[in-house]
Structure 1
Amino acid sequence: MSVKDSSGDLAAQAALIRTGLPTMNGADALVPYALFAGAAGLIWGGANMAPRACVAVVEAAMRHDWISAREIWRSIEPAMSLIWQGDYVQSVYAAAAITGYGAGNPRRPLARLAAGKLDALKVALESLIALESDLA
């Protein structure tokens, strides 16, 4: 038995981890912090936009190399924070397309990401795209 926490509340997630139940982090914006707190794993839709960088941050955390994890996270964080603010599914699809990992469009009833948010997402992805390319 395990539990998934997507609340975005790191204190609540840490309390779940302390129960001893394997706790899966489902809040993209909390990935490195949840790993540091002892999360058993991640359910991370945002990883679809930059899988290499996301694996790199997890590998650094597994080595307890928190300095490297934080350095990698600096490139990932702007996009993860932005997608977490709303239009999550649409943002993940749009970001995956922008970074070259596209999977089509969201299923109905969801529409494509609005143009204004798409522009902000492109800006948030700049350093992540560079990191993803460096890790290729």
Structure 2
Amino acid sequence: MPTSWKGVFPAATTQFAEDLSIDLKATQAGYDALVRDGVDGLIVLGTCGENNSLDPDEKRTVLKAVVEVVDKRVPVITGVSEFDTRRAVAYARAAEAAGIDGLMLLPAMVYVPKTEELIAHFRAVAEAVSLPIMLYNNPPAYRVNIGKEVLDALADVPNIVAVKESAPDSRRFTDLINAFGSRYEIFAGLDDVALEGLMLGAKGWVSGLTSAFPHESVELVAAAARGDWMRAREIYRWFMPLLHLDAEHDLVQTIKLAEQIMGRGSERVRMPRMILSGARRAEIIAMVEQAAATRPVGPKKI
């Protein structure tokens, strides 16, 4: 099942009102702005979309809203981040019914599965829908690795088509391509290993910081695609202090604060997350303001 997925897919945020209900208009505005800024697709209701902080009905409302506002301009993929396989299957079916273009499938939350359990979870969700699926490998966050044994066992599942690779070891890109050739489309999934992934054959980049700085992200991937590595390195080196934030536990708060500073959203998050405060908040504000004043592509914010 080949896809048109390539390029920059920001892991878009979900926007909240002051009472922490979902602000659908602001959420739609954020999706629309990213598309107009040139991204190649959207990931919604992933980690940055605070998937596990939303009720099932709220998730379905967001799915309807993104399909409406994007209107097929780019592919829309939703995270499938549930506590068990039954819930994951139900949500995947709801996403397909809503008109979503694909799924980013995570291991079941909290429980650390054995290899055979991980394979069975992925297979059960894939067999419940016809949508193309990107598996999300993030061993530091989810304490399980989607390794060669898992991908070998799933090679016969036609709609499992891609892997978002968020292990911090860039050797994984080459190992996966050597092992599977073109069987799986590989995406870089950790912001501060993105250029390495693209250089080593990743088809695209699922990015957190793109939500605050989309112009630079789009140009970085475009430069890599045309082989202009000098330009790609220039942007990457400017971007790197912020890209490192994607590997921190407070990545959602830092990305939403960056969005707020750049006039692209609100920093409001749902508990147990809390907005940044004290020295950490001051540190992030200084980093974002420095990046905004020196940005190599988009309009500078002085």
Count residues in correspondence: 136
1:45–1:82 Cα change, 3 Å: closer
- The reply on whether 1:25 has 2:188 as its aligned counterpart is yes
Asked if structure 2 preserves the Cα contact closer than 8 Å seen for 1:49 and 1:101, the reply is: yes
1:94–1:133 Cα change, 3 Å: same
- The reply on whether 1:50 has 2:50 as its aligned counterpart is no
Q: Which has the higher contact order (CA 8 A, sep 6+)?
A: 1
- The reply on whether 1:108 has 2:271 as its aligned counterpart is yes
**Cα shift at 1:14:** 2.8
**Cα shift at 1:123:** 2.6
**Cα shift at 1:127:** 4.2
SS at match of 1:43: strand
The Cα offsets for residues 48-98 of structure 1, whole Å up to 9 and x where unpaired, read as 110111111111111110100000112211111134233111111111112
Q: Select the residue among 224, 243, 247 that pairs with 1:84.
A: 247
More helix by share: 1
Distance, in Å, in 2 between the alignment partners of 1:38 and 1:133 is 25
Asked if structure 2 preserves the Cα contact closer than 8 Å seen for 1:75 and 1:127, the reply is: no
Asked if structure 1 preserves the Cα contact closer than 8 Å seen for 2:188 and 2:205, the reply is: yes
SS at match of 1:4: strand
Asked if structure 2 preserves the Cα contact closer than 8 Å seen for 1:49 and 1:99, the reply is: yes
**Over the residues paired in the alignment, what is the CA RMSD in angstroms?**
1.9
Structure 1 unpaired stretches of 5+: none
Question: Which position in structure 1 is the counterpart of 2:171?
Answer: 11
Distance, in Å, in 2 between the alignment partners of 1:103 and 1:130 is 20
1:100–1:93 Cα change, 3 Å: same
Distance, in Å, in 1 between the alignment partners of 2:293 and 2:175 is 36
The Cα offsets for residues 88-114 of structure 1, whole Å up to 9 and x where unpaired, read as 111111111122222442233211123
Asked if structure 2 preserves the Cα contact closer than 8 Å seen for 1:79 and 1:124, the reply is: yes
Q: TM-score under structure 2 normalisation?
A: 0.42
Distance, in Å, in 2 between the alignment partners of 1:94 and 1:41 is 25
**Cα shift at 1:5:** 1.1
Single out whichever of 66-75 and 105-114 deviates more from structure 2.
105-114
1:49–1:34 Cα change, 3 Å: same
More strand by share: 2
Tell me the amino acid that sits aligned with residue 225 of structure 2.
M
Structure 2 unpaired stretches of 5+: 1-160
